[in-house]
Amino acid sequence: MADTLDTTFSALADPTRRAILSMLLEDDMAVTDVAEPFEMSLAAISKHLTILTRAGLIAQEKRGRVKWCKLQPDAMRAASVWMQGFGQFEPVNLDAFERFLASELPEADQP
């Protein structure tokens, strides 16, 4: 499972790949349509799509002469389950924590 998580998070680490996944939330898209909003070559987009495909986050299939991309939402399930494990902790109130530190620790600013 660690390899799957590593691959998933590695694929998600790039903002272009995250943008592509967001676009595919709407519907399947042809590779050329995926590439359109980005200021990079089709070859560069294809590399991003290959990484997403290897991570299992998307599937690519040829329909006629056009290559299509489809989101594979189940592929993020393991990552989602892993991240939900951290939801058991209460959110930290940073202002309250700062006040606590100020009251408990000697002033470092004072000579």
Is residue 33 included in any domain, yes or no? yes
Kindly report the pTM of this predicted structure.
Answer: 0.74
* Whole-Å CA distances, 52 to 61, 84, 99: 13, 22, 44
Is residue 32 included in any domain, yes or no? yes
Is residue 79 included in any domain, yes or no? yes
**Using one digit for the tens of pLDDT, what is the confidence trace for 4-54?**
889 999 999 999 999 999 999 999 999 999 999 999 999 999 999 999 999
Is residue 111 included in any domain, yes or no? no
**Using one digit for the tens of pLDDT, what is the confidence trace for 52-102?**
999 999 999 999 999 999 999 888 888 888 888 777 666 666 777 777 777
Q: How many CA atoms lie within 13 A of 16 on its CB side?
A: 18
Domain count, the chain: 1
State the CATH number of the domain containing residue 83. 1.10.10.10
Is the pLDDT at 110 greater than 70, yes or no?
A: no
| Range(s) of the domain holding residue 62 | 2-104
* Whole-Å CA distances, 78 to 5, 41, 58, 106, 107: 7, 32, 15, 45, 45
Is residue 110 included in any domain, yes or no? no
Is residue 88 included in any domain, yes or no? yes
Is residue 95 included in any domain, yes or no? yes
Is residue 109 included in any domain, yes or no? no
Given the DSSP bridges, would you call strands 66-71 and 29-30 parallel, antiparallel or unpaired?
antiparallel
